[in-house]
Structure 1
């Protein structure tokens, strides 16, 4: 009976979603978003009462509405009282594996439904390259994907020679970047040398033996989660024998010397390395709010039960660790907020990422929570939006492609019902999303979200 119910759901979902699929494939349609307040994200400004024309998946015109004659074939989208911003980029996201194809489709749509039009998938395999191509060919609804290859750990790269081979293999396979894990220093250095030689970026974690300065000197493209910053801030003469660094430095947080922060910031700026803070990764685990309460947040209804159970158990387990007690976790959260502010104000490169779906981070929804945390760290709403729109295009070295609302850019857009520059939480108030010229109105978004919710109950 259970098998029949599952088959019936999948069979009916295909026909229910067919009109939406047809809508998604209509990227060649012309859209005119009229009388809208445009936040172009090239500078902090609002272009009031403007019209934006989208043709063949690209923005072709942005001008005052009084000056624009709509193309005859254009479908008009009323933007009165609304705000248009570029699509958001999740710079540390994860797409599930091939063992759960329906979950993969659901996750991709959760990103779309939240205005996330680009995702840097930070751990992958050959299956994710197939998903990426399906999205590019409009065979599967989803954001544009930049795919990292298999995890660089001691199993994948036990020796420098193995690391050299693996870098070349991943480059040849078509991955966009290498995902760093725990490898020894000599192997890391060989990996970095080969990666720089064949021109494939590497980012993510920093091996313990390498440390912050070693990664900066090697040209690591991004440091995710502020990995190894805590270790750098611990003075050389501190007593650390027998002390574990813990979860992103939680075991050492009480030993840090804040006078070392300027040096860490200076070295980061000089190296030109990007940081992906993922504040929510730590703040959710450190939160005094009980896991059982967090799991009842509205967006959790879109996640599979086994995933929610895993989050619940993980938080409750970590709350019992010696290096993750309230005093230490509070200090770690405060330091990460301080680093965010100091790095930003000093001109370091920062991009938005939440590490979804991990630890109460529902894909798409979590990026909006991340932005609120970055505002709490001291950035303005506009500064936070820059990290999720314009900055990712600079990270990928394709500023001509996306990140701002200008003619020629890919039509990745979010139509909001309130001004996000006044309150960053207004990014939640989505009226419509355009992904590469494909238009999803609120009705279409809600319909597909309801299907995902229902699937979790069957």
Structure 2
């Protein structure tokens, strides 16, 4: 279903005789239940089917034998790419500078908008009903977010960061990041993002793999603690969470000390870092969370360079970073740290439609059960974003963000690859469908 074809009026309906996936950590389900969605897109009733009376005039859908689950939440999304291998020539300083100029032309802006719309559509049709972008080209996604919220487009709930904030020449600059020379520039840039209407902020605390040019650059600290603190203070004053790209223990420590709310990717964790996650006095809510993005880290290491197209430097940089990400995910989970789900969509071999694969990787490599992974992608992610009263579970009064599935995802995560129906804030996506890259999917299925 294309974004531009949505209906702006919600038609109330009921899903009858279904099994409800609660999204709880223990994988609990409720049998033979009926869910009623009102004209405001809210869940108005959740009761055993034999006890409920569906209001007259509501469309009634027999969901016997199906499982209705909360919609997925993806906390680490980029909408400027689709998951095909990124050309390493475009990731050089010269390449990024050229692309930065091109995407700011009328044709370039139209291209970026088309890519963003395509990504949003793929995410929604694959069962993702809330996303957070963490590094955009300009502010196109902010505009799309507002159209979705106003009922003019069909899409998931969107938290958009706009451009990242990076050190001079840092990760993502200048294509998807504003460069901060010092604390004053950091303050100016974060205020510019907020003035453009963002409802998320992203810092590049360390170097990254995809645009690294020298050995050791990925994970190397880039932005100083003082500048990051300035950004966090300004964002928190507006109630906005701050994410930080951080891929080394030192980078994670610096970002947490500055007060970031989520660490993206992460690293191996020691007792001091675990304590900082648990109690972070400079964060918005007094704690910080980890978003491991194993989809990006493990995928780029699973294949030879001839397949992924990355450079020798990027490949060598990816090894310790990916090992650290996996170690950090395991340690955080074992020690009760909030671990959320984000995939790093748009990166090499991380398609927009494969949020389910992050759950699979968490359950196969990081010590999660399938139920715990699904819990992380729904209830935990909603708590991290501060929207647990709005979404993340199937309860009366919450937005109807729902998936209709053939099986219980707590027992079979692959059922998430083919939702039969997606409902976003009460608006159904009938017969959801995505354009798949069979070659990428097959290779990942065989290797991971």
Is 2:294–2:362's contact at 8 Å kept on the other side of the alignment? Answer: yes
Q: 1:428 aligns with which of 413, 417, 426?
A: 417
Cα distance in 2 between the residues matched to 1:209 and 1:380 = 26
Cα offset for 1:335?
A: 4.7
Is 2:16–2:62's contact at 8 Å kept on the other side of the alignment? Answer: yes
Specify whether residues 451 and 89 from structure 1 end up closer, same or farther in structure 2 by C-alpha distance, changes over 3 A only: closer
Equivalent residue for 2:200?
177
Q: 2:371 aligns with which of 374, 382, 395?
A: 382
Query: What are the equivalent positions in structure 2 for 1:132-281 lying under 5 Å apart?
Result: 132-155=145-168, 156-181=179-204, 182-206=222-246, 211-226=251-266, 229-230=267-268, 261-271=270-280, 272-281=287-296
Cα distance in 1 between the residues matched to 2:150 and 2:330 = 40
Cα distance in 2 between the residues matched to 1:150 and 1:265 = 29
Q: Give the aligned length.
A: 373
Equivalent residue for 2:122?
110
Cα distance in 2 between the residues matched to 1:147 and 1:439 = 23
Specify whether residues 264 and 86 from structure 1 end up closer, same or farther in structure 2 by C-alpha distance, changes over 3 A only: same
Q: 1:67 aligns with which of 51, 62, 68?
A: 51
Larger proportion of helix: 1
Specify whether residues 163 and 419 from structure 1 end up closer, same or farther in structure 2 by C-alpha distance, changes over 3 A only: same
Cα distance in 1 between the residues matched to 2:247 and 2:127 = 33
Shifted more, 416-425 versus 402-411: the winner is 416-425
Cα distance in 2 between the residues matched to 1:106 and 1:215 = 32
Unmatched segments (≥5 aa) in structure 2: 81-102, 104-108, 169-178, 205-221, 281-286, 439-448
Unmatched segments (≥5 aa) in structure 1: 1-16, 234-260, 293-311, 454-458
Specify whether residues 413 and 289 from structure 1 end up closer, same or farther in structure 2 by C-alpha distance, changes over 3 A only: farther
1:359-388 deviations in Å (ceiling 9; x for gaps): 1111022x1111100001210111111111
What is the root-mean-square deviation of aligned Cα atoms in Å?
A: 2.7
| Secondary structure, counterpart of 1:47 in structure 2 | strand
Cα distance in 2 between the residues matched to 1:430 and 1:207 = 34
Cα distance in 1 between the residues matched to 2:315 and 2:164 = 26
| Secondary structure, counterpart of 2:423 in structure 1 | strand
TM-score (norm 2): 0.76
Cα offset for 1:290?
A: 7.4
Specify whether residues 432 and 198 from structure 1 end up closer, same or farther in structure 2 by C-alpha distance, changes over 3 A only: closer
Cα distance in 2 between the residues matched to 1:291 and 1:379 = 32
Specify whether residues 108 and 193 from structure 1 end up closer, same or farther in structure 2 by C-alpha distance, changes over 3 A only: closer
Is 2:182–2:227's contact at 8 Å kept on the other side of the alignment? Answer: yes
TM-score (norm 1): 0.75
1:411-452 deviations in Å (ceiling 9; x for gaps): 11000001111122222231111111111222xx23xx4699
Specify whether residues 289 and 430 from structure 1 end up closer, same or farther in structure 2 by C-alpha distance, changes over 3 A only: farther
